[in-house]
Amino acid sequence: MASLFPEHPGLRRSAILSGESSAMGNCRESSLPTVCFGCFEADLNSRRLLKNGLRIPLQEQPFEILATLLSQPGRVFSREELREKVWEPGIAVDFERGLNKAVNRLREALGDSPDHPLFIETVPKHGYRFIAAVQQPIRSIAVLPLDNVSCDAGQDYWADGLTDELIAHLSRRVNNRVISRTSVMRFRNTQAPPAEIGRQLGVDTLIDGSVSVSAGRVRVRVSLVDVATGRSIWAETYERETGDMVAVQGQIAKELARRLHPRLTPLEKGGGASGARVLPAAYEAYLKGRFFWNQRTEGSLAKSLDYFNRAIDIDPCYAAPLGGLADAYIVLGILGLRVPKEVFPRALAAAESALALDPYLPGVHESLAAVLFHYDWRWRDAEHEFQLALELNPNSREAHQWYAGLLISTGRPSEAIAEAMRARDLDPLSPLQNAYVGLVHMKARRQQEAIKWCREALELDANHAFSRLILARVLDAQGDLHEALRESEKAAELAGEGMPYAAYLGYVHARLGNRVQAFGVLKRLQELGARRHICAYDIGLIYMALEEKELAFEWFERAFRERAVRLCELGDPAFDQLRSEPKFQDLARRIALPLHADNS
């Protein structure tokens, strides 16, 4: 067998290859941890030394000495023990000279001094020991909602906005798992101990802090808290003018990333600069826009559009509000609150303008991908943009979720389920995200798993209308129509007969043969259509369940002309009754969906 260490023939490899129970031998096991000390990480699996996330070149023998010392910090390892563990027996080398040289190289890599050691201490006439505090690396983190301590509830949008921005900045700067907004917002104003919050979110570290705004200045306090002990690992306070907050967010994220598992962003790899100063009024308008966008109602989305446009008017070179504008138009289209042809082209224009100003905004690549997926039906281009967004920010719950939707729509169920699970892991306490995992399983025709995830969602919030709706769809796919009716009735009641809840209730009535009730829903939808947009797809769905095929195809054609978002669901089990119809096959061909998805 070829040597694992060809440059160092004196290095003992027999213990590694034979699996002897020594510090060195154990270090080759795949389960060995990464050990952190100071700003360094020693990865005992890959045999790499990192400083602030960047690899430090270190030869084999110095690293194996480090690994041995780290196996029992504080213990003195004699020179003979190091010889036995690191050097092969029978090799003719000047051991004393070789050991001194290897220890010196290790100290150089660590920036350590034999006279004033921080890490490696020489114990005269005995050997060496590792003296610094060591810990396991931080693997996951949650940014808790920042407290508004301004004594003015009208400033809540500052606290919410800075929480969101800090999550976004940190998400793309670290390789750690960063929990998404929905789950952490459950802990606003909580008095729960860190251990309990960490248990519920599945993280080992928390960030908490506060925001105060006064006389054009913002004061932000943040601290990094170890979940297990409740102790602060690091804390800092920043005070700046409001126009400097974009740069400050990046600075805070960079400081935190140094203490976590940092990754170079594509912008930094290219040597670019970020965090340009933004006009204070533009930044404040942007935060207000995000505050209302997060509420996801028709009225709040209209307000968000107003604030994003104000920010753009004040500072046309500020890319973030253009991204917000794209997001608001997309949500209006996906929720069926506006005609797709009215909002998606505007979303595309805003996203392209934002990327012209800053091509490294991951959220805007998500927005562009969403337009290509939901509106243009350009599946390959959309997939490219999703992948780019995830390269820029691997912690984007939205990108993983929407990418899962694209994958399941184009007949790749295993990949889709994996992406949906990644999204859920980033937002574990979100009913929507758990229900979405159920939805993807339903589309993959794995109904028992789908029901399990819908039940998980409803345990988090029994009054979550979307989760009730998805459970109804799963029960329908399973053939349990009476239970599907009960769940769809609850969903419609919770949603105030909003769309698509009311329409789906009509669909289930039709499936059960309750034609009077189904036509009653169609009549109400027609009346609503005089005042607001009603998606043609939803009406086609009801006619399909009524087995009125010609009317169903007529409405699906209208949905195609208006480019209805939900036409990408033609692969769902509900459409099996139409799959052999030439008109259905022609419709699927025009939006380039596979006719027979492999859902095994």
Q: Each residue of 70-82: pLDDT tens digit?
A: 989 999 999 888 8
Residue 512 or 228, more confident: 512
Reported as a pLDDT band with limits 50, 70 and 90, residue 27 is: very low
Tell me the C-alpha distance between 99 and 81, whole Å. Answer: 12
Minimum mean pLDDT range among 49-53, 206-210, 356-360: 49-53
Per-residue pLDDT tens digits for 28-63: 333 457 788 888 888 888 888 988 777 889 988 899
Per-residue pLDDT tens digits for 520-563: 999 999 888 888 888 999 999 999 999 999 999 999 999 999 99
Radius of gyration of the chain (CA): 29
pLDDT at 592: 87
Provide the H-helix boundaries in 315-430.
320-334, 340-357, 362-374, 379-392, 397-409, 413-426
Question: Is residue 500's pLDDT more than 80?
Answer: yes
Domains of the chain, each with CATH number or no CATH? 14-130 (1.10.10.10), 140-268 (3.40.50.10610), 278-390 (1.25.40.10)
Question: Is residue 246's pLDDT more than 70?
Answer: yes
What rounded mean pLDDT belongs to the chain? 85
Reported as a pLDDT band with limits 50, 70 and 90, residue 22 is: very low
Tell me the C-alpha distance between 52 and 111, whole Å. Answer: 13
Rounded (10°) angle between helices 501-511 and 515-529: 160
Mean pLDDT of 468-486: 95
Mean pLDDT of 378-384: 95
Q: How far is CA 250 from each of CA 268, 277, 278, 511, rounded to the nearest angstrom?
A: 12, 12, 13, 54
DSSP 597: -
pLDDT at 248: 76
pLDDT at 595: 59
Mean pLDDT of 13-35: 39
Give 167's contacts (C-beta < 8 A, 6+ positions apart).
143, 178, 180, 181, 184
pLDDT at 515: 95
Reported as a pLDDT band with limits 50, 70 and 90, residue 385 is: very high
pLDDT at 123: 92
Reported as a pLDDT band with limits 50, 70 and 90, residue 266 is: low
What values do phi and psi take at 582, rounded to 5? -55, -40
Question: Is residue 171's pLDDT more than 50?
Answer: yes
Tell me the C-alpha distance between 539 and 517, whole Å. Answer: 14
Reported as a pLDDT band with limits 50, 70 and 90, residue 17 is: very low
Share of the chain above pLDDT 70, in %: 89
Give 578's contacts (C-beta < 8 A, 6+ positions apart).
544, 549, 552, 584
Question: Is residue 277's pLDDT more than 90?
Answer: no
CA-nearest of 318, 297, 298, 299 to 308 is: 318
pLDDT at 213: 83
Structure tokens at 103: 């220890």
Minimum mean pLDDT range among 188-197, 368-377, 580-589, 591-600: 591-600
pLDDT at 257: 73
Rounded (10°) angle between helices 320-334 and 362-374: 30
Minimum mean pLDDT range among 88-102, 404-418, 514-528: 88-102
Tell me the C-alpha distance between 236 and 139, whole Å. Answer: 22
Reported as a pLDDT band with limits 50, 70 and 90, residue 93 is: low
Tell me the C-alpha distance between 81 and 94, whole Å. Answer: 16
Tell me the C-alpha distance between 588 and 421, whole Å. Answer: 27
pLDDT at 55: 87
Are 180 and 399 in contact by the 8 Å Cβ rule? The answer is no
Question: Exposed, middle or buried: residue 505 (CB in 10 Å: 0-12, 13-18, 19+)?
Answer: buried
Reported as a pLDDT band with limits 50, 70 and 90, residue 90 is: low
Mean pLDDT of 575-600: 81
pLDDT at 347: 97
Question: Is residue 580's pLDDT more than 60?
Answer: yes
pLDDT at 327: 95
